[in-house]
Amino acid sequence: MPEQTLKHDLDRFYSYLESERRYSAHTVSAYQRDIKHLIQILGYDEAGLINWDEIKQADIRQCVAKLHRQGLSGKSLQRWLSSVRSLFNFLCRYHRATQNPAVGIPAPKAAKRLPKTLNVDEINQLLNVDSSGPGFTNKGSKDNELTVRDVALMELMYACGLRLSELSGLNMNDIDWRQQTIIVTGKGQKQRQVPFGSKAKQAIENGLITRKLQANENEQALFVSLRGSRLSNSSIQKRLKKLALTQGLNTNVYPHMLRHSFASHILESSKDLRAVQELLGHANLSTTQIYTHLDFQHLAGVYDSAHPRARKK
């Protein structure tokens, strides 16, 4: 098999993920980190030549063991193995390798952890921002504009169960005001239409007033920074933490917690798992089923507090 530089093969693989698989920049970056670990542990030089068939199952097992010792969780190792398998599938497809050494190698079992959520009272505490309260300063100030924008984006994230990247990627023309829905571009560039309620509608309308003062000309992003360009994921994370602290929530609030809360609250009220799957944009129902465990926890709590033979003294 002719040898080519390692970097050449990796560049082709990452280009394939972007153009053919249509993965987001965030996902491709995760693949790059995983493959970088493989290359570093095995001691290869990206500028050097490589014969991929020299990498055997024993080498992949060695990598898994080392990453596990370094503290990577079972779930992270499962993702790492998936990235490596995808790389070798690509290499075999284009005759750069004849076998996939990552096939059949298990990762340590990941402990199943239920997603953390806010209850309805905590959601209300987070989003019911009083214009005369600590979240606001002088009327018309930049701080006020940021707070109005922050409430709008948090309301929409909770109203529609959005991922962080889905929220930051929203454009002005994704909103259908007549039907009160938004077009969300999720994983794999798949789009779904999600409704939003009156609270989110009012918050977005308020946010658009301040957006006019901030957005650069021809900027399509729904949520913009003070510089007038699209608001970044990291900025949204920081602003949510700040809002949660300002509103007196004594818990670490992060964007995906709002998505988890959305799913849990909808399922708790509707019992319609398929509908929650569609709203969240999950490809497989099994991914959504974790929220049934949250719902059961709620039911178990109700039982423990209400059943005369279950109540603790």
Q: Which residues have a catalytic role annotated?
A: 163, 187, 256, 259, 282, 291
Hey, how many other C-beta atoms are within 10 angstroms of the C-beta on 117? 20
Structure tokens at 278: 């569609």
Q: Is 71 helix (H, G, I), strand (E, B) or coil?
A: coil
Of the candidates 134, 80, 89, 141, the one whose C-alpha atom is nearest the C-alpha of residue 107 is 80
Q: Which residues, other chains included, contact 15 with Cβ-Cβ below 8 Å and sequence gap of 6+?
A: none
Element (H, E) at 144: helix 142-160
What residue ranges in the chain does DSSP mark as E strands?
4-5, 49-50, 175-176, 181-185, 191-195
SS3 of 78-135: the string is HHHHHHHHHHHHHHHHCCCCCCCCCCCCCCCCCCCCCCCCCCHHHHHHHHCCCCCCCC
